[in-house]
Amino acid sequence: MTDFESFRKQALDELLDWLRIPSISTLPEHKADMIRAAEYVRTALERAGLAKTSLVDRGGHPLVYAEWLGAPGKPTLLLYGHYDVQPPDPLEEWVSPPFEPQIRNGNIYARGATDDKGQTWILVKAVEWLMRRDGRLPVNVRFLIEGEEECGGEAISRYVSEKPPELAADAAVICDSEMFAPGLPSICTGLRGIVYGELHVEGARQDLHSGVYGGVAPNPLMAIAEILTALKNRDGRILIPGFYDRVVEPAPAEKEAWARLPFDEKEYLEKEIGAPELTGEPGYSVFERTWARPTLEVHGIRGGFTGEGAKTVIPARAVAKISMRLVPEQRPEEAVEQLRAAIAAAKPRGVRAEFRLLHGAPASLVDPENLFVKEAALALEEIFGRKTVFIRSGGSIPIVGLFNACLGIPSVLMGFGLPDDNLHSPNEKFHVPNFFAGIEAVVRYFERLGA
Ligand code: BES
Ligand code: MN
């Protein structure tokens, strides 16, 4: 076995160990796992030969920092990833348990396999490999790996807003996005923003008999239904006054490039969605609807009787978790105000309705002409042997906007996930060849930037 081959094998084994730690940031009972997962990557960075490896405390779950600055005159890259994962439920739909990684058909199945432990591990291992091979790096690097990306925590934004000298860099490099298709190298040039919160609705003082009081008592679950349908119509158009005022359409050239992407809508519907048909705003392509148009979704509704059998009750209160995805130029604070006003206007008689904000972040755009982006595209081309495509994503990586606003740096989003990797879903997976190709592409990227 060549050196690199045994290195790859070990990198994979280590990733599997990291995946065994259930670092679910949103669930308080996993606090100790969060620290273990952070410490796991910190020690790996230390072993790789990086300096100042540390856990940075800004409240919430720790940030992991490490640096290697031995290439004066060369660019400095801020390598970002997240060690936290989404909750794995519904557990019964997993073929193998979410925190017992299994390799089947060349894929690692585990929560966090691609989002984002597997992809963060690409950056860690690319650096380690170069250090091992050359005893040095062609560029300067600083790692910043957070544990609250999936729950909208603010530790990282507090840290970045301080503009600490440890974060001075020329560009951020992030592996936390997807390739457009297998084998097709892709750079993500746009992410949507987000506003996430809870709609709390209260009616009667306590649950009531639905026969005795039905007809006069307000029903908070019905109120949630009424409010939600007043916020968005059947065509996916958001009805919140002023909501679209700042929305910027993608440039015609960008839309034309999207139209040239290899895409079969029927196959997308069947393979990725698995519903009877697609929904959303008429007159906009799937890419526009998912990448460049704002949305409003409901994620869960709590209230009333949900057990087996029948119980005739009018619940006293109900909660809906809702989010809006925002596009460039929309402002999270403003969108929240507009949403609150729309809820107040839509609320039926007899209930109190309140929107409680959990977190928000603006959308972000990256200039494809930026030197750091172009070099990444070329490095990817060298490894994958195909021309890199520039795509956007409908997902959010909240800190990208602040990297730009506070640190004045662009983010290079070179992602190695695949469209069917089941992010946030049961049976999340990561294609092992993409893990290895990712390491090679990042190595190549650093070499190009240092040349
Ligand atoms: N890695 C994803 C975002 C993503 C997915 C980017 C696919 C590009 C392609 C990220 O970890 C994520 O899921 N973020 C959350 C953030 C939110 C909870 C604040 C999201 O988008 O829901
Ligand atoms: Mn992610």
> What's the pLDDT at 4?
93
Compute, in angstroms, the gap from residue 243 CA to the centroid of ligand 1: 22
d(C-alpha 89, C-alpha 95), whole Å = 12
Establish whether residue 194 lines the binding site of ligand 1, counting it when its CB lies within 6 angstroms of any ligand atom: yes
d(C-alpha 51, C-alpha 65), whole Å = 9
Establish whether residue 398 lines the binding site of ligand 1, counting it when its CB lies within 6 angstroms of any ligand atom: yes
Whole-structure pTM value: 0.95
- Write the residue with the smallest CA distance to atom 1 of ligand 1: 176
What is the secondary structure of 388-412 as a DSSP string? Answer: PEEEEESS--THHHHHHHHH---EE
Compute, in angstroms, the gap from residue 275 CA to the centroid of ligand 2: 25
Pocket test for ligand 1, best of 176, 290, 327 (most atoms within 8 A of CB): 176
The residue ranges of every structural domain in the chain are 3-191+364-450, 193-247+294-361
Q: What is the pLDDT along the chain (451 residues), one digit of tens a residue?
A: 569 999 999 999 999 999 999 999 999 999 999 999 999 999 999 999 999 999 999 999 999 999 999 999 999 999 999 999 999 999 999 999 999 999 999 999 999 999 999 999 999 999 999 999 999 999 999 999 999 999 999 999 999 999 999 999 999 999 999 999 999 999 999 999 999 999 999 999 999 999 999 999 999 999 999 999 999 999 999 999 999 999 999 999 999 999 999 999 999 999 999 999 999 999 999 999 999 999 999 999 999 999 999 999 999 999 999 999 999 999 999 999 999 999 999 999 999 999 999 999 999 999 999 999 999 999 999 999 999 999 999 999 999 999 999 999 999 999 999 999 999 999 999 999 999 999 999 999 999 999 9
d(C-alpha 177, C-alpha 115), whole Å = 8
Compute, in angstroms, the gap from residue 325 CA to the centroid of ligand 2: 16
Token pair of 400 as six digits: 């990208």
Pocket test for ligand 1, best of 27, 85, 123, 150 (most atoms within 8 A of CB): 150
Compute, in angstroms, the gap from residue 244 CA to the centroid of ligand 1: 22
Establish whether residue 150 lines the binding site of ligand 1, counting it when its CB lies within 6 angstroms of any ligand atom: yes
Within 10 Å of residue 209's Cβ, how many Cβ atoms? 11
Buried b (16+ CB within 10 A) or exposed e, 417-427: bbeebbbeebb
Compute, in angstroms, the gap from residue 362 CA to the centroid of ligand 1: 13
- Write the residue with the smallest CA distance to atom 17 of ligand 1: 150
Compute, in angstroms, the gap from residue 92 CA to the centroid of ligand 2: 23
Establish whether residue 177 lines the binding site of ligand 1, counting it when its CB lies within 6 angstroms of any ligand atom: yes
> What's the pLDDT at 340?
98
pLDDT tens figures, 350-377 = 999 999 999 999 999 999 999 999 999 9
Compute, in angstroms, the gap from residue 402 CA to the centroid of ligand 1: 16
d(C-alpha 150, C-alpha 424), whole Å = 10
Cβ proximity of 292 and 300 under 8 Å: no
> What's the pLDDT at 1?
54
> What's the pLDDT at 191?
98
Pocket test for ligand 1, best of 85, 122, 149 (most atoms within 8 A of CB): 149
d(C-alpha 100, C-alpha 90), whole Å = 15
Spell out the CATH class of 3-191+364-450.
alpha beta
Place of tokens 């005795």: 212
Query: What is the second-level CATH architecture of the domain 193-247+294-361?
Result: 2-Layer Sandwich (3.30)
> What's the pLDDT at 2?
66
pLDDT tens figures, 267-299 = 999 999 999 999 999 999 999 999 999 999 999
Compute, in angstroms, the gap from residue 176 CA to the centroid of ligand 2: 5
Ligand 1 atom nearest residue 359's Cα: 19
Cβ proximity of 136 and 70 under 8 Å: yes
